[in-house]
């Protein structure tokens, strides 16, 4: 294997003096190397994943919570119905199809979105898709709690909104951190669909760099390792969060402390 391919100039194909030429010589108009290109593509992958995660967490928490609103709350039927429709629509359409819909269809319906860069449209597609999956995890976490917690909160004079904010959701999120971890790791991998609309992330880099250099083994192996490293990093971060927020004395706290 020729790992020197990453130190080659992407313009001339010749070996560069510095593998990170365009990063360390920004003011000298140095041509980028394939290593420069790889690291920038990795940055785009992480950016798209982070923005998509924010969208997914906000919408997923909202929709998951709406699906558990008690029947005695005014308007609960419509809210539960809307949240259920949201989940069923977005989780049953392939994510790649959703990317194409956001890129080719939505801007034609809402012209104001034509000015948005492609990566934002991908973030919306991934965020909405993942929000449906996270909503089910939030719903399961809330429904796993005993009804006594909700009743106790209401008995103390808290409104339905306050009982969710201060009692139910904080406890539910502690329970669902493990499945949320898997979903966050999946989100890193799902960013690969962004290549379909020319977002310069890792998969697009791999396809174009392999075509230019004919060094598919080295290129795809490097990209694979970066995906694995990114997902593992998310796993470690979520594990630390799980340990930090675990309730002292509970079984989950005892397991994560060893």
- R_g of the chain, CA atoms, integer Å: 23
Question: Model's pTM, two decimal places?
Answer: 0.88
For residue 162, count CB atoms less than 10 angstroms from its CB and return exposed for 0-12, middle for 13-18, buried for 19 or more.
middle
Least confident of 23-37, 65-79, 138-152: 23-37
Predicted pLDDT of residue 234? 95
CB 204 within 8 A of CB 194: yes
CB 97 within 8 A of CB 205: no
Q: Hey, what are 209's tokens? A: 């760099």
User: What is d(CA 89, CA 140) in angstroms, rounded to the nearest whole number?
Assistant: 19
Q: How does DSSP assign 62-103, residue by residue? A: HHHHHTT--TTSTTHHHHHHHHHHHHHHHHSS-HHHHHHIII
Q: Which domain holds residue 118?
A: 3-256
Residue 144's CATH number: 1.10.3720.10
Would you say residue 3 has pLDDT above 80? no
User: What is d(CA 47, CA 53) in angstroms, rounded to the nearest whole number?
Assistant: 10
Predicted pLDDT of residue 219? 94
Contacts of 47 (CB under 8 A, 6+ apart): 119
CA nearest 55: which of 116, 118, 133, 111? 133
CA nearest 11: which of 24, 29, 23? 29
Most confident of 17-31, 104-118, 144-158: 104-118
User: What is d(CA 235, CA 229) in angstroms, rounded to the nearest whole number?
Assistant: 10
Least confident of 121-125, 176-180, 246-250: 246-250
Kindly state the average pLDDT of the residues 90-119. 94
- The tally of domains found in the chain comes to 1
Least confident of 5-14, 31-40, 129-138, 162-171: 5-14
- What would the pLDDT profile of 116-162 be if each residue is shown by its tens digit? 999 999 999 999 999 999 999 999 999 998 888 888 888 888 888 89
Contacts of 91 (CB under 8 A, 6+ apart): 129, 132, 133, 136
Element (H, E) at 144: none
- At 27, is the pLDDT very low, low, confident or very high (cuts 50, 70, 90)? very low
Contacts of 66 (CB under 8 A, 6+ apart): 79, 80, 82, 83
User: What is d(CA 200, CA 211) in angstroms, rounded to the nearest whole number?
Assistant: 15
- What would the pLDDT profile of 197-217 be if each residue is shown by its tens digit? 999 999 999 999 999 888 889
């Amino acid at each position: 294997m020729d790992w020197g391919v990453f130190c080659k100039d992407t313009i001339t194909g010749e070996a560069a003096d510095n593998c990170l030429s365009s990063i360390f010589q920004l003011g000298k108009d140095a041509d980028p190397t394939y290593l420069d290109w790889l690291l920038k593509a990795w940055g785009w992958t992480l950016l798209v994943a982070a923005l998509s995660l924010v969208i997914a967490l906000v919408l997923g928490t909202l929709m998951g919570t709406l699906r558990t609103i008690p029947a005695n709350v005014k308007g609960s039927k419509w809210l539960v119905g809307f949240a259920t429709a949201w989940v069923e629509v977005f989780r049953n359409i392939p994510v790649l199809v959703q990317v194409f819909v956001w890129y080719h269809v939505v801007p034609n319906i809402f012209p104001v979105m034509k000015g948005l860069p492609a990566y934002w449209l991908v973030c919306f597609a991934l965020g909405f898709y993942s929000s449906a999956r996270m909503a089910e995890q939030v719903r399961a976490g809330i429904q796993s709690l005993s009804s006594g917690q909700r009743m106790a909160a209401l008995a103390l004079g808290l409104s339905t909104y306050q009982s969710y904010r201060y009692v139910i959701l904080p406890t539910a999120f502690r329970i669902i951190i493990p499945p949320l971890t898997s979903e966050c790791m999946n989100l890193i991998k799902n960013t690969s669909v962004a290549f379909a609309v020319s977002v310069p992330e890792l998969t697009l880099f791999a396809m174009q760099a392999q075509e230019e250099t004919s060094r598919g083994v080295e290129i795809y192996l490097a990209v694979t390792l970066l995906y694995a490293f990114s997902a593992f990093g998310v796993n470690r971060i979520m594990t630390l969060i799980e340990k930090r927020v675990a309730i002292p004395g509970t079984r989950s706290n005892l397991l994560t402390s060893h």
